[in-house]
Amino acid sequence: MFHLNKDRAAGIVLGTSFLITMALALFILAFLLAESLPVLREEGLSFITGQVWYVAGDIYGALPMIYGTLAVTLLALIIALPLGIGSAVITSEILTGRTRHIVKSLMEMLAAIPGVVYGLIGIALLTTSVRDLFGLMDGNTIFTAGLLLGIMILPTIMTLSDDAMRSLPGELRAQGRVLGLSHGQTIRRVVLPGSIKGITGAVLLGVSRAMGETISVMLVIGSLDRLPTPIYNVFTSGQSITSKLGREGAEGLGLGLQWSALAGLGLMLFISVMALTFTGNIIRGGVRPKKSKNHEVTG
């Protein structure tokens, strides 16, 4: 009876927590949608496709911020993806015992560092390094923000990819060895293909963090509300959705169409991040790390 009561209580607590979380998410979505309606009625589709953001003239085009968000996120992925998966291969398939746990613990600690700390490091080191290395007048660029975000999401991709690889049954590695595959060939032909589902989920969760990061991006991206010329020039100042919200959110509070436009940016960001996070968690749903003892015996 006591165990039944404990199980029932645990179920009630978990169910209540789920309902509260869902209610908060729906409330935020409804709030942003309601606050965005004025600018959506005024600007229509040009709110998404427009390139001019001019508060004094009540003109709001979000395309430069959308471009900045996508460009920064893509750069972060280009930087973090190979390093994260490569590091995960090392911790999962090469390092063993205490060494592995130390390395992975350090990576998980990096994931817990607040974004503002990364932003301060970016101001002190990355902006000056990018400026001097590429001969720029200003190191606050889209590239700098992408580089910083790549460093920030690297621990997330690494640790979750490591979990995906460790969840692969050791018997598959053993079968690869029986077939005459070397250790490296087993990693390439067995481990990576077999872990692709979990790795994909890890990447999506890393992207969702990159898209939602505010302070660190705001400190290093600059503040230019227009598309670069040429469009692929990432060595220029820009603006992402999060940096725009960080700069104008407080001053635009309650100020008619400006506030509505900022809410519209928040709505786009909220839907994108929630969709990526949900998809990443669904993809990773079956990924559970195996005990290291079994892995080391078979692998």
Token pair of 19, please?
């309902």
Which residues contact residue 102 at a Cβ distance below 8 angstroms, ignoring those fewer than 6 apart? none
The pLDDT, as a whole number, for residue 293 is 45
The single-letter code of the amino acid at 35 is E
Q: What is the pTM for the complete model shown?
A: 0.85
Tell me which fold the domain 64-298 belongs to.
MetI-like fold (1.10.3720)
- Kindly state the helix (H) or strand (E) to which residue 247 belongs, with its residue range: helix 241-248
- Three-state SS for 45? coil
The pLDDT, as a whole number, for residue 295 is 47
**Quick one: which of 206, 182, 192, 176 has its CA closest to 281?**
206
Q: Which residue has the tokens 């390139």?
A: 51
The pLDDT, as a whole number, for residue 4 is 55
Contact assessment for residue 127 and residue 144, using Cβ atoms and an 8 Å cutoff:
yes
**Quick one: which of 84, 102, 223, 96 has its CA closest to 162?**
84
DSSP string for 100-121: HHHHHHHHHHHHTS-HHHHHHH
Instruction: Please give the distance of CA 155 from its chain centroid, rounded to a whole number.
Output: 11
pLDDT digits (tens, 9 = 90+) for 169-178: 888 888 888 8
Q: How far apart are the first and last CA of the chain?
A: 44
Contact assessment for residue 155 and residue 111, using Cβ atoms and an 8 Å cutoff:
yes
The pLDDT, as a whole number, for residue 299 is 38
The CA distances from residue 118 to 162, 188, 206, 248, 254, in Å, are 23, 33, 16, 22, 31
| Spatial distance between the Cα atoms of 147 and 159, rounded to a whole number of angstroms | 19
The single-letter code of the amino acid at 40 is L
**Quick one: which of 23, 84, 28 has its CA closest to 209?**
84
Dihedral (CA of 184, 189, 195, 201) sign = positive
Tell me which residues of the chain have a pLDDT lower than 70: 1-4, 254, 284-299
pLDDT digits (tens, 9 = 90+) for 31-87: 999 999 999 999 889 999 999 998 888 889 999 999 999 999 999 999 999 999 999
The pLDDT, as a whole number, for residue 278 is 86
Rounded to the nearest 5 degrees, what angle is found at the Cα of 260, between the Cα atoms of 256 and 266? 150
| Spatial distance between the Cα atoms of 122 and 113, rounded to a whole number of angstroms | 14
Contact assessment for residue 227 and residue 239, using Cβ atoms and an 8 Å cutoff:
no
The pLDDT, as a whole number, for residue 241 is 94
The pLDDT, as a whole number, for residue 231 is 92
| Spatial distance between the Cα atoms of 72 and 217, rounded to a whole number of angstroms | 9
